[in-house]
Structures are given as C-alpha cells and as structure tokens.
Amino acid sequence: MTGKTGLEDIFPEENDIPREFMPPTVDQTEYLVDGEIRTWNGLRQEVFSPVFVRRDGGLVPRRLGSYPLLSAGEAEAALAAAAKAYDHGRGEWPTMPVERRIACVEAFAARMKERRADVVNLLMWEIGKTHGDAGKEFDRTLEYIAATVEALKELDRASSRFVIEQGIVAQVRRAPLGIVLCMGPFNYPLNETFTTLIPALIMGNTAIFKPAKFGALLFQPLLAAFRDSFPRGVVNTLYGEGQVVVPPLMASGRIDVFAFIGSAKVANTLEKLHPKPNRLRRVLGLGAKNPAIVLDDADLDLAVKECALGALSYNGQRCTALKILFVQRQVVEPFLEKFCAAVAGLKAGMPWEAGVAITPLPERGKTAAMGELIRDAVALGARVVNPGGGEANQSVMIPAVVYPVTGRMKLFTVEQFGPLVPIVPFDDIEEPVRYLLEADVGQQASVFGRDPVALGRLIDPLVNQVCRLNINSQCQRGPDSFPFTGRKDSAEGTLSTSDALRVFSIRTLVAAKAEGGNKEILTRIVRERRSNFLTTDYIL
Ligand code: G3H
C-alpha cells in the first residue's frame, strides 16, 4: 500500500470496468438432481469476487451473486438419483454401448462450447484468473474432452477382440465402478473438476459433483447442457458447504469412487467417514512443494524465466507451482538479481487488463497469511530482496522473493500456494536431494543445468522421489496426455487422458472353456448382438 508499487489505485470504480468484462449477477436457485433442474428456496451462499471496487471513498468486494446452500437432504436425493441411474450396474447408462455414451459426452461438449463467453467471464471474476488464462482453462477442458473420447475409442478398439489362452476364450474390457463423487479445486475449478468428471462419466459411472469453494457460479450456464445431454440421474450437482453435504454421502457407504483435488487433510477426513474403505477407490490430487534446483552451470536467463513463470503464474496458486528454489551458492547473487528483475516486470492489475500477471487472490485473509510467512522467515534471518515485495492491498499482493531461507522457517516446508518465492542457497547437491527425500510430498521437481554428467547423476535419485522431473523447464501438468500423479501425500491414482479412463473403471472379463457348445454360444451372442459388453463392434 505504498506509492512505489501503485497498489493503492489498483482497484477500479464500477464505471472503470470495461463493458465487455462486466460481471453478470448470478443469483442461482437451481441445482441439477435426477435429470431435473430443481429450485432451491432455502439459504444461499453470497458470492463476492476477489476484485474490490472503489465506492464512497472505500473498497468493497464486488458482489457476483449467490448459490444454493443445500442441506443433507438434497445430498441424499442426489445420491439416490445417482444410485437409481447406476442401478447396481444394470442401469441404462452403465450398460449402454460405448459409442452412445461417447455421443452423449460429445453433445455436452458442443453445448458447453456455446457458453464459452459466460463461463470464462465468471471464471475470471470468481477466482481472479486473468481473462487470457480463464479462456485457456476453458479451451483446454474442451480439448481434454475430445482427447478423452479419442482415448476411449482406442481402448475400446483394443478390447473388441477375443483372446484364447490355455483353452479358455475370453473378452476383457473395462467396466464402470459405480457412483463417483467429484470435487475439484478453486484454482482450476472447471478444468480439474472435468478432468475427473468426464472420464468417470464416459466409462459408465454415474456422478455427483460438488463445485469448489470459489468458482461455483461458473457451472450455472452448463446445468441445462448436463440435463439435456445425459440420461436422468447420471450427473447430479451438489452446492453448499462441504461439511454439510459431503459427510452424509461418504457415511452412506454407497460412494464407489472419491475423486478429490484439494488438501490431504480434507481428503483424509472425508475418506474416514466411509464405512467400507475397501469399496472406495480414491483418485486424489493433493498438496505439493515442488522445488527447482539451479546448478552453477545453468543458463541463468532460462532458469530465471522458467522459475518466475513456474513460481508465479496465477500468483503461485497452482499445485504444480515451483514453491521453493534451491540455487547453488556460486550463482546465487546473479540469479537473485535477474530473478528480482523478472518479478519486477510482472504487472499487477485487474484480471481483464492486457499483459497483467499479478491479480487478486480469492481466499479471504490470504495476503495476511502470506505476510505471516514472510514475518516468520524475516524473524529467523531472511529478508525480502525485491523492492515492494510482500506489499498488499486487500486481495492483491506484490510477490515477495524471500532469501536466504533455511530449514527453521515455515516457508521451507509449508505449501504457500500464493505469491511468495523462497530461495535457499546450497553448497552441496546433497542438500536439495535430501530435501526431497525427507519431504512429505513428492509431485514434481525442476533441475536447471548444462552438464549431462551432473544432470544424469541427479536424474536417478530424483525420479524415485517425484513423478516428473523437468530438465531446464518449470513444473507443469500438461500436455494432458502425459501421466499426472505424485508420491507420498501428493496424489493417489494417475490422471492423463488415457490413464483417467483406467482409474474410473475396472478390468472385467467374460470367459469360457473353448469346448463343447461354448464357442457356438459366444459366437451367437456376438453375431445376434445379445450383449453390449460381449461384442466385437469396432468404433472408428
Ligand atoms: O493446480 C494444479 C494443476 O493441475 C496444474 O496444472 O501445471 O497445467 O498449471 P498446470
């Protein structure tokens, strides 16, 4: 809040908001259960943007609308609808030929595309993501759906033949698991919800999905598309407080797959409520503290560019963000100088402004929490080395580069999930390696250097600590055809366009001794199309 960073003028007046980016007011009363868009007359959650507006000499968060705060009763109704549609695997959806399920998903994607402008605008206003990145999130999600369809066709082609082994003839396919509860995170509320929901659906499961705590209104333009594209009860939405609507679902013991992207603490609390843990398959994307290791022979310009992007895209609110940088002591001074210059070049502003990188943070009290982490580090001997770093106005914070960070400071291990960049100098490569060995999380790491011998030596120990090692580039999830997972407390199950089809299904086979009348029976079932599972149909 000083003149130096211009933060005091960062928020607009209502009249300054460009017309094409004006937020709609969405006072949502609708929710989708059992193929019906129902109206809720009870309490609603007020939704405010992280964007504040100047009004009467003060700042107020811009109101965006409200959504239903459903009760446990509606959660039970959603569960009953999903259970009826699945009908123990005998429902229309789980037994439908794959080709028809694909047609439903494609029909949904076409309808979704029509609502791009509305969803992208809400995404920007609800979570403060830049307009460009909100558009990318939407388009990437549509691409993910198209790639999922292609991956399923490929899987189906590979499964459309019979195998004969040791005198047994069989057809092996992937079958659905049952009722899936999908919960996405606020930082990718559309994309990461759909990267579990769509594969779950297309494999024949029925689903209940609960939007994240921020980024709930953006699903409202899609409710009718869900209702019209899928059979009744296949997709159900659950709005409200997690503590109210989710425990009854888990405690019922009828959820077969828990697909959750968020914190390990919440995942563990919810899982424990399920009375039949062996029935519950978990698909989890949890915390991470991905480090970058900058070696003394690294191309520093490249390392700085990748580390700045990796640490501060969407203000550091990515599970894959670089959350701690280890820099070899010989190059730490030039690295810091270049890194601070790169951070100074990041424009802070409103998410619709061209070229903006630093935007309002959606979590209430986030800038104060970041300030606490800075204070803790400073009290233990670090300092903020970039001018203006850590200055804040309401929901906006100038990124703080904190140096030198040591193991005694919270920033060493806490996942900041915000605009703080802790930098640790090291003399011996064993120091960052040990950091990874001892960490409770293990998603990805980045290594910057040029010497193939030194890099080669690091690869073998590091790939057994994380699930993706990035050489001379930041950590990231994409391309979406690559496996995305983590070790320890970071993840359970692997997601990619093809892997997700596997995690939401189970290999199931029909087998018979290839003798007596069995061959004739199987041949007739296939030829006369008596089964949707046992078929040699080939989807092109
Ligand atoms: O928040 C975690 C996201 O899955 C990261 O995806 O690396 O493409 O930003 P990204």
Is 79 in contact with 34 (CB distance < 8 Å)? no
Distance (Å, whole) CA 11 – CA 368: 18
Q: Evaluate: CB of 496 within 6 angstroms of ligand 1.
A: no
- pLDDT tens digits for 428-481? 999 999 999 999 999 999 999 999 999 999 999 999 999 999 999 999 999 999
- Within a 10 A sphere around the Cβ of 155, how many other Cβ atoms? 19
Nearest atom (ligand 1) to Cα of 187: 1
The DSSP bridge pattern shows strands 444-448 and 290-294 to be: parallel
Amino acid at 128: G
- pLDDT tens digits for 91-129? 999 999 999 999 999 999 999 999 999 999 999 999 999
Model pLDDT, residue 6:
81
Q: Where are the beta strands (DSSP E) in 330-426?
A: 347-348, 356-358, 383-384, 392-393, 396-397, 400-403, 420-426
Is 403 in contact with 336 (CB distance < 8 Å)? yes
Distance (Å, whole) CA 379 – CA 373: 10
Centroid of ligand 1 to alpha carbon of 428 (angstroms)? 30
Instruction: Give the DSSP per-residue string, 414-435.
Output: S---SSEEEEEEESSTHHHHHH
Question: Would the pTM of this model clear 0.85, i.e. be above it?
Answer: yes
Best of 144, 306, 315, 320 for a ligand 1 pocket test (most atoms within 8 Å of beta carbon): 320
Model pLDDT, residue 538:
83
Model pLDDT, residue 188:
98
* Mean pLDDT value of segment 151-176: 96
The DSSP bridge pattern shows strands 179-183 and 257-261 to be: parallel
Residues 242, 274, 285, 231, CA torsion sign: negative
Best of 129, 444, 477 for a ligand 1 pocket test (most atoms within 8 Å of beta carbon): 477
Residue 484: alpha-carbon gap to chain centroid: 11
Q: Where are the beta strands (DSSP E) in 167-268?
A: 168-176, 179-183, 206-210, 235-237, 257-261
Does 238 score more than 70 pLDDT? Answer: yes
Is 179 in contact with 208 (CB distance < 8 Å)? yes
Best of 129, 188, 286 for a ligand 1 pocket test (most atoms within 8 Å of beta carbon): 188
- pLDDT tens digits for 368-382? 999 999 999 999 999
Place of tokens 């596997």: 502
Among 210, 196, 175, CA closest to 88: 175
Among 289, 320, 342, 303, CA closest to 473: 303
Residue 318: alpha-carbon gap to chain centroid: 8
3-state DSSP assignment of residue 448: strand
Q: Evaluate: CB of 187 within 6 angstroms of ligand 1.
A: yes
Centroid of ligand 1 to alpha carbon of 453 (angstroms)? 30
Q: Which residues contact 475 (CB under 8 A, 6 or more apart)?
A: 290, 292, 310, 320, 321, 322, 443, 444, 445, 446, 468
Does 503 score more than 80 pLDDT? Answer: yes
Is 481 in contact with 497 (CB distance < 8 Å)? yes
